Amino acid sequence: MSSNPQHPVDCEHCVDAAAYVLYALEDAEARAFDEHLAACSICREEVTQLQSAADALAIGVPRAEAPPALAARVMATVHAEAELRGTTAREAAAGVPAEGDAVEGVPAEGARSARVPSARRVRRRSFVPALAAGLALAAGLLIGAFAINTGSTSTRTEVIHAAVVAPGHHAIAELRNVGGHVQLILEGMPAPPPGRIYEVWLEHGTQAPLPTDSLFSVTKTGAGTVGVPGNLKGVSDVLVTDEPLGGSLKPTRTPVIVAKV
């Protein structure tokens, strides 16, 4: 939640902002929060601030092994936080609440021994501070990894948010161009209809879309990552349609994703 004293949090729904930007809300909760955002400037500002942090972590840098010294410092912090909260590092990593944390349907004195199958059962007053700490730790690792991998050389990263047509789903798609390597990243996307698959197309101005060999589906949670061929030079739009298995040479359906390059 916002820590700026000039903008105090005085809306009870702000507690849902962090879970909203990380797609941790149930579909019904996400829809309700969408409606709330239309009328609440405080929550809109909170979501904007948290989304910027989440996007910065998402675009990241190429994966690399952390130096042993850095890994040791991170684990030392995890153990120290676990001791302060009255949990072991293993319990903290597994999501077991600390002594006194409130869990839905479990008395506070017995919460630590309860097994929690879903983080949504922990009250958000416990979840959000832990989430904030996790984002801060991840940001520190991200900055360290960037320094280790790039040194004095910076890699240009471009993020293009795409329009998505997915009624009834809280779906988001974006293109990430990192040093000329382009990927389409999806969250909350419904699976293609039975017997069909998503296909990526490249459009050059008013010319007909050109097919690519990028055919994909998504996970049960609607997540997906697919490479986009080429470097987007001369491309005006990146499109996605659902096509028969094996793909098509010409689109047979209206695009469900459109990214303006």
Long-range Cβ contacts of 225-230 (<8 Å, 24+ apart): 225/183, 225/184, 225/185, 225/186, 226/183, 226/184, 226/186, 226/198, 226/200, 227/181, 227/182, 227/183, 227/184, 228/175, 228/182, 228/183, 228/184, 228/200, 228/202, 229/200, 229/202, 230/182, 230/202
- Residue from 219, 220, 200 nearest 210 by CA: 200
Q: Which two tokens stand for residue 190?
A: 């419904």
**Considering only CA atoms, which of 158, 160, 156 is closest in space to residue 260?**
160
| Coil, strand or helix at 93 | helix
**3-state DSSP call for residue 197?**
strand
* Chain length of the chain: 261
Contact 133, 53 (CB under 8 A): no
Q: Could you give the domains of the chain?
A: 12-59 (1.10.10.1320), 68-150 (no CATH), 157-260 (no CATH)
Cα(173)–Cα(163) distance, integer angstroms: 7
pLDDT in tens, the chain (261 residues): 444 444 445 788 888 888 887 888 888 888 898 889 888 988 888 888 887 676 666 555 555 666 666 667 777 776 666 666 555 545 544 555 544 444 444 444 444 333 333 333 333 444 455 555 555 555 454 444 444 444 445 568 889 999 999 999 999 999 998 888 899 999 999 999 999 999 999 999 999 999 999 999 999 999 999 999 987 889 999 999 999 999 999 999 999 999 999
